Structure 1
Amino acid sequence: MREGSLDAPTRHIIDWNNPEFYDEQKLDDELRRVFDICHGCRRCFNLCDSFPRLFDLIDASETEELDSVASEDFKPVVDACTLCDMCFMTKCPYVPPHEFNLDFPHLMLRYRAVEKKNGKDKFVSRELSKTDRNGKLAAPVAPLANWATKTSNGMTRGIMEATLGIDKNAALPKYQSKTLVARAKESPLEINKDAPAYGRKAVIYATCFGNYNNPATGEATRKVFAKNGIETEVVYPGCCGMPQMEQGDLAGVVENAKKVSAELSSWIDKGYDVIALVSSCALMLKFEWPLLAPDDATIEKLSKATFDVAEYVMEFAKKEGMAEGMQPIGDSMAMHLACHARAQNMGAKGAEVLRLIPEAKITVVERCSGHGGSWGIMKGNYKTALKVGKPAARTALKSNAKYIASECPLAAEHLMQGIETLETEGTDGKTALHPIELLAKSYGL
Structure 2
Amino acid sequence: MSEGSLEAPTRHPIPWNDPDFYDEEKLDAEMRRVFDVCHSCRRCFNLCDSFPRLFDLVDESKTGELDSVESKDFKHVVDACTLCDMCFMAKCPYVPPHEFDVDFPHLMLRYRAVENRKGEIPTFGQRQLTETDRNGKLAAALAPLANYAAKRGNRMTRPLLEKVAGVHRDAELPKYTSKPFSKRAAPPVNAEAPAHGRKAVIYATCFANYNEAEVGEAARRVLAHNGVETQVVYPECCGMPQMEQGDLSRVADKAKSVAGTLKPYIDDGWDIIALVPSCGLMLKFEWPLLVPDNEEVKQLSAATRDISEYIVDIAKNEGLADGLNALDGPVSVHIACHARAQNMGQKGAQMLRLLPQMDLNVVERCSGHGGSWGVMKENFETGMKVGRPVFRKAKNNGKARYVASECPLAGLHIAQGMEKGQSEGETLPQTVPHPILLVARAYGLMA
Scaled by the length of structure 1, what TM-score is found?
0.97
1:86-145, Cα deviation, whole Å (9 max, x unpaired): 000000010011100000000000000000111111322222111111111111001000
Match of 1:45 in 2: 45
Report whether the alignment pairs 1:412 with 2:411.
yes
SS at structure 2 position matched to 1:106:
helix
Match of 2:369 in 1: 371
Counterpart mapping for 1:1-80 below 5 A:
1-80=1-80
In 1, Cα distance between equivalents of 2:432 and 2:74: 36
How far apart are 1:233 and its partner, in Å? 0.1
1:205-246, Cα deviation, whole Å (9 max, x unpaired): 000001111111000001000100100000100000100000
> Which of 331, 336, 344 is the equivalent residue of 1:333?
331
How far apart are 1:431 and its partner, in Å? 2.3
Counterpart mapping for 1:304-343 below 5 A:
304-343=302-341
Contact 1:217 1:277 in 2 (8 A): yes
Counterpart mapping for 1:195-234 below 5 A:
198-234=196-232
Counterpart mapping for 1:176-191 below 5 A:
176-185=177-186, 189=189, 191=191
How far apart are 1:398 and its partner, in Å? 2.7
Contact 1:330 1:360 in 2 (8 A): no
SS at structure 2 position matched to 1:239:
coil
In 2, Cα distance between equivalents of 1:9 and 1:201: 32
1:31-79, Cα deviation, whole Å (9 max, x unpaired): 0000011111111011111001111111111111100010001101001
Match of 1:104 in 2: 104
In 1, Cα distance between equivalents of 2:13 and 2:165: 35
How far apart are 1:429 and its partner, in Å? 9.0
Q: Return the letter of the residue paired with 1:179.
A: P
Match of 2:145 in 1: 144
Match of 1:421 in 2: 420
In 2, Cα distance between equivalents of 1:26 and 1:320: 53
Deviates more, 1:246-255 or 1:260-269: 260-269
In 1, Cα distance between equivalents of 2:395 and 2:271: 37
Cα distance 1:198–1:426, how it changes in 2: closer, same or farther (>3 A)? farther
Deviates more, 1:399-408 or 1:319-328: 399-408
In 2, Cα distance between equivalents of 1:360 and 1:330: 10
1:394-433, Cα deviation, whole Å (9 max, x unpaired): 1112352111111101011011111112225556794233
How far apart are 1:5 and its partner, in Å? 1.4
Contact 1:290 1:303 in 2 (8 A): yes
Contact 1:141 1:177 in 2 (8 A): yes
Contact 1:328 1:357 in 2 (8 A): yes
1:1-32, Cα deviation, whole Å (9 max, x unpaired): 21111221110010000000000000000000
1:143-164, Cα deviation, whole Å (9 max, x unpaired): 0000010002122112222332
Report whether the alignment pairs 1:403 with 2:399.
no
Match of 1:383 in 2: 381
Match of 2:291 in 1: 293
1:158-188, Cα deviation, whole Å (9 max, x unpaired): 22223322111101111111010111128x6
Contact 1:192 1:198 in 2 (8 A): no
1:348-385, Cα deviation, whole Å (9 max, x unpaired): 00000100110001111011011011111111110000
1:252-280, Cα deviation, whole Å (9 max, x unpaired): 10111111111111111111000000000
Instruction: Provide structure 1 residue ranges, at least 5 long, that are not aligned to the other structure.
Output: none
Q: Return the letter of the residue paired with 2:228.
A: I
SS at structure 2 position matched to 1:154:
coil
SS at structure 2 position matched to 1:147:
helix
How far apart are 1:289 and its partner, in Å? 0.3
How far apart are 1:341 and its partner, in Å? 0.2
SS at structure 1 position matched to 2:404:
strand
Scaled by the length of structure 2, what TM-score is found?
0.97
How far apart are 1:198 and its partner, in Å? 3.0
The percent identity for this pair of structures is 62
How far apart are 1:304 and its partner, in Å? 0.2
In 2, Cα distance between equivalents of 1:412 and 1:426: 19
In 2, Cα distance between equivalents of 1:428 and 1:311: 29
In 2, Cα distance between equivalents of 1:8 and 1:125: 36
SS at structure 2 position matched to 1:203:
strand
Cα distance 1:54–1:78, how it changes in 2: closer, same or farther (>3 A)? same
> Which of 275, 294, 313 is the equivalent residue of 2:273?
275
Match of 1:238 in 2: 236
Contact 1:125 1:374 in 2 (8 A): no
How far apart are 1:440 and its partner, in Å? 0.3
SS at structure 2 position matched to 1:11:
coil
Q: Return the letter of the residue paired with 2:277.
A: S
Q: Return the letter of the residue paired with 2:341.
A: A
How many equivalent residue pairs?
442
SS at structure 1 position matched to 2:156:
helix
